[in-house]
Amino acid sequence: MNTFTVSKLQSVSELIQLRSRLLNEEEQAGLARKERILICMGGGCLASGARKLKDEFHKQLHHAHLHNSVEVKGIGCPGPCSHGPVVIIDSDKTLYQNVSPGDISEIIEQHIQNRQIVERLIFRDNTDGKSASSIADIEFFKRQTKIVLHNCGTVDPLSINDYISHNGYAALSKVLCGMTPETVIREIEKSGLRGRGGAGFPTSLKWSLASKSSSSQKYIICNADEGDPGAYMNRSELEGDPHSIIEGMAIGAFAIGANEGFVYVRAEYLLAVERLQNAINQTKEYGLLGDNILGSGFSFNLEIRMGSGAFVCGEETALIASIEGKRGEPRPRPPFPVQRGLWGKPTVINNVETFVNVPVILLNGGDRFASYGTQKSKGTKVFALAGSVRHSGLVEVPIGTTLRELIYNIGGGTVNDRPFKAALIGGSSGGCIPKEHLDVPLDYESLNELGAIMGSGGLIIIDETSCMVDVARFFFEFVTEESCGKCTPCRVGTKRILEILLRICDGEGKPGDIEKLIHLGEEIKRTSLCGLGQSAPNFVLSAIRYFRNEFEAHITRHCEAGVCFREKKFNDLEIQHSASTKD
Amino acid sequence: MIKLYIDNQPVEVPANTSILDAGRGVGIKIPTLCFIENFEAKGACRVCLVEVKGAKNLVAACSTTVLEGMEIFTNSKTVRDSRRFVVEMLLSEHNGDCKTCLRNDDCELRQLASEMGINVLEFEGEPAPQNIDDSTPALIRDSGKCIKCRRCVTICNEVQGVGALFPQGRGFYSSIGPSFAENLAAVACVQCGQCAAICPVGAIIEKDHIAGVWQAIDNPSKHVIVQTAPAIRAALGECFGYEPGTLVTGKMVSALRRLGFDKVFDTNFGADLTIVEEGTELLHRLKKALVDKQPVALPQFTSCSPGWINFVEFYYPDFLENLSTCKSPQQMFGAIAKTYYAEKIGKRPEDIVVVSVMPCTAKKYEAQRPEMSHNGIRDVDYVLTTRELGRMIKQAGIDFRSLPDSKMDSPLGISSGAADIFANTGGVMEAAIRTVYEIVTGRPLPTNQLHIEPLMGLDGLKKATLKIEGTLPEWQFLEGIELKVGVAHSLTNAVRIIDAVKKGEEFHFIEVMTCPGGCIGGGGQPRFTTNEVRKKRIAAIYQEDEGKTLRKSHENPDIKQLYAEFLGKPLGEKSHQLLHTHYKAKENLKPT
User: Hey, how many other C-beta atoms are within 10 angstroms of the C-beta on B312?
Assistant: 24
The pLDDT score that the predictor gives to residue A565 is 87
Coil, helix or strand at residue B104:
helix
Which residues of chain A does B82 touch, with a Cβ-Cβ cutoff of 8 Å?
523, 526-527
Q: Which long-range contacts (CB under 8 A, 24 or more apart) does B454-459 make?
A: B455/B426, B455/B429, B455/B430, B455/B485, B455/B487, B455/B511, B456/B424, B456/B426, B456/B430, B456/B538, B456/B542, B457/B425, B457/B426, B457/B538, B458/B425, B458/B516, B458/B517, B458/B531, B458/B534, B458/B535, B458/B538
Count of positions (residues) in chain A:
583
Tens-place pLDDT, residues B436-463: 999 999 999 999 999 999 999 999 999 9
- Nearest Cβ partner for A485 among B47, B126, B172: B172
| Chain A touched by B167 (CB under 8 Å) | yes
Per-residue model confidence as pLDDT tens for chain A (583 residues): 445 567 899 999 999 999 999 999 999 988 889 999 999 999 899 999 999 999 999 999 999 999 999 999 999 999 999 998 999 999 999 999 999 999 999 999 999 999 999 999 998 876 556 678 899 889 999 999 999 999 998 999 999 999 999 999 999 999 999 899 999 999 999 999 999 988 899 999 999 999 999 999 999 999 999 988 889 999 999 999 999 999 999 999 999 999 999 999 999 999 999 999 999 999 999 999 999 999 999 999 999 999 988 999 999 999 999 999 999 999 999 999 999 999 999 999 999 999 999 999 999 999 999 999 999 999 999 999 999 999 999 999 999 999 999 999 999 999 999 999 999 999 888 999 999 999 999 999 999 999 999 888 999 999 999 999 999 999 999 999 999 999 999 999 999 999 999 999 999 999 999 999 999 999 999 999 999 999 999 999 999 999 999 999 999 999 999 999 865 555 555 545 544 444 4
Looking at this predicted complex, what is its ipTM?
0.93
User: Is B207 designated active site?
Assistant: no
| Chain A touched by B57 (CB under 8 Å) | yes
Domain A33-138 in CATH 3.40.30.10? The answer is yes
| Chain A interface mutation, best of B170, B174, B176, B180, highest count of A Cβ atoms under 10 Å | B170
The pLDDT score that the predictor gives to residue B549 is 95
- C-alpha A466/C-alpha A475 separation (Å) is 13
| Chain A touched by B81 (CB under 8 Å) | yes
Which residues of chain B does A490 touch, with a Cβ-Cβ cutoff of 8 Å?
171
| Chain B touched by A339 (CB under 8 Å) | no
| Chain A touched by B16 (CB under 8 Å) | no
Cα dist from A87 to A53, A54, A240, B443, B488, whole Å: 9, 9, 15, 99, 72
Peptide bond into A441 cis (omega under 30): no
User: Is B189 designated active site?
Assistant: no
Q: What percent of chain B has pLDDT over 90?
A: 95
User: Is B304 designated active site?
Assistant: yes
- Nearest Cβ partner for B92 among A327, A480, A492: A492
| Chain A touched by B143 (CB under 8 Å) | no
User: Hey, how many other C-beta atoms are within 10 angstroms of the C-beta on A126?
Assistant: 12
Q: Which long-range contacts (CB under 8 A, 24 or more apart) does A416-420 make?
A: A417/A127, A418/A388, A418/A463, A418/A464, A418/A465, A419/A463, A419/A464, A420/A388, A420/A461, A420/A463, A420/A464
User: Is B519 designated active site?
Assistant: yes
Is B81 in Cβ contact with A481 (below 8 Å)?
A: no
Is B89 in Cβ contact with A332 (below 8 Å)?
A: no
Task: Evaluate whether A410 touches A397 at the Cβ level (below 8 Å).
Answer: yes
Catalytic, out of B281, B313, B430, B511: B281
Name the residue of chain B whose CA is nearest to A309's CA: B170
Name the residue of chain B whose CA is nearest to A331's CA: B42
Coil, helix or strand at residue A29:
helix
- Nearest Cβ partner for B174 among A331, A484, A516: A484
- pTM metric for this prediction: 0.93
Could you tell me which of A446, A405, A404 has the C-alpha nearest to residue A426?
A446
Q: What are phi and psi of B206, to 5 degrees?
A: -70, 150
Sheet with B482-489: strands ordered across: B300-301, B509-513, B482-489, B461-467
Number of A to B CB contacts under 8 A, please give it.
111
The pLDDT score that the predictor gives to residue A581 is 46
| Chain A touched by B225 (CB under 8 Å) | no
Amino acid sitting at position B129: P
| Chain B touched by A483 (CB under 8 Å) | yes
| Chain A touched by B169 (CB under 8 Å) | yes
| Chain B touched by A452 (CB under 8 Å) | no
The pLDDT score that the predictor gives to residue A199 is 84
| Chain A interface mutation, best of B19, B86, B94, highest count of A Cβ atoms under 10 Å | B86
CA B489, chain centre distance (Å)? 10
Name the residue of chain A whose CA is nearest to B43's CA: A332
Name the residue of chain A whose CA is nearest to B67's CA: A334
- C-alpha B293/C-alpha A401 separation (Å) is 88
Average pLDDT over chain B, rounded to whole? 96
User: Is B239 designated active site?
Assistant: no
Please name the residue ranges forming H helices in A466-565. Answer: 468-482, 488, 494-505, 513-527, 531-535, 538-555
Catalytic, out of B34, B45, B304, B360: B304
Which residues of chain B does A327 touch, with a Cβ-Cβ cutoff of 8 Å?
166-168
Which residues of chain B does A483 touch, with a Cβ-Cβ cutoff of 8 Å?
170-172
| Chain B touched by A523 (CB under 8 Å) | yes
Task: Evaluate whether B359 touches B235 at the Cβ level (below 8 Å).
Answer: yes
Q: How distant is the Cα of B134 from the closest Cα of chain A, in angstroms?
A: 24
Going by DSSP bridges, is the β-strand pair A420-425/A431-434 parallel, antiparallel, or unpaired?
antiparallel
User: Is B62 designated active site?
Assistant: no
Catalytic, out of B182, B277, B278, B388: B278
| Chain B touched by A489 (CB under 8 Å) | yes
Domain A468-555: CATH class, spelled out: mainly alpha
Which residues of chain A does B169 touch, with a Cβ-Cβ cutoff of 8 Å?
485
Domain A380-463 in CATH 3.40.228.10? The answer is no
For residues B24-33, average pLDDT: 94
The pLDDT score that the predictor gives to residue A5 is 62
Tens-place pLDDT, residues B84-120: 999 999 999 999 999 999 998 899 999 999 999 999 9
Domain ranges in chain A with CATH number 1.20.1440.230: 468-555
Name the residue of chain A whose CA is nearest to B90's CA: A488
User: Is B366 designated active site?
Assistant: yes
Which domains does chain B show, CATH number per domain?
2-75 (3.10.20.740), 90-206 (3.30.70.20), 211-269+330-402 (3.40.50.1780), 275-326+415-530+538-579 (3.40.950.10)
Domain ranges in chain A with CATH number 3.40.30.10: 33-138
For residues B77-86, average pLDDT: 97
Q: How distant is the Cα of B19 from the closest Cα of chain A, in angstroms?
A: 13
The pLDDT score that the predictor gives to residue A129 is 60
Q: What is the 3-state secondary structure (H, E, C) of B420-485?
A: HHHHCCCHHHHHHHHHHHHHHHCCCCCCHHHCCHHHCCCCCEEEEEEECCCCCHHHHHHCCCEEEE
What is the CATH code of the structural domain delimited by A160-370? 3.40.50.11540
Peptide bond into B570 cis (omega under 30): no
Name the residue of chain A whose CA is nearest to B44's CA: A487
| Chain A touched by B78 (CB under 8 Å) | yes
Domain ranges in chain A with CATH number 3.10.20.600: 380-463
Name the residue of chain A whose CA is nearest to B48's CA: A527
Q: How distant is the Cα of B92 from the closest Cα of chain A, in angstroms?
A: 8
Q: For the CA atoms of B407, B408, B411, B414, what is the dihedral angle to 10 degrees?
A: -80
| Chain B interface mutation, best of A523, A524, A534, highest count of B Cβ atoms under 10 Å | A523
User: Is B416 designated active site?
Assistant: no
Catalytic, out of B88, B93, B313, B366: B366
Which residues of chain B does A525 touch, with a Cβ-Cβ cutoff of 8 Å?
57
For residues B36-45, average pLDDT: 94
Catalytic, out of B145, B251, B327, B363: B363
Q: How distant is the Cα of A554 from the closest Cα of chain B, in angstroms?
A: 20
Q: How distant is the Cα of A263 from the closest Cα of chain B, in angstroms?
A: 24
Which residues of chain A does B58 touch, with a Cβ-Cβ cutoff of 8 Å?
526-527
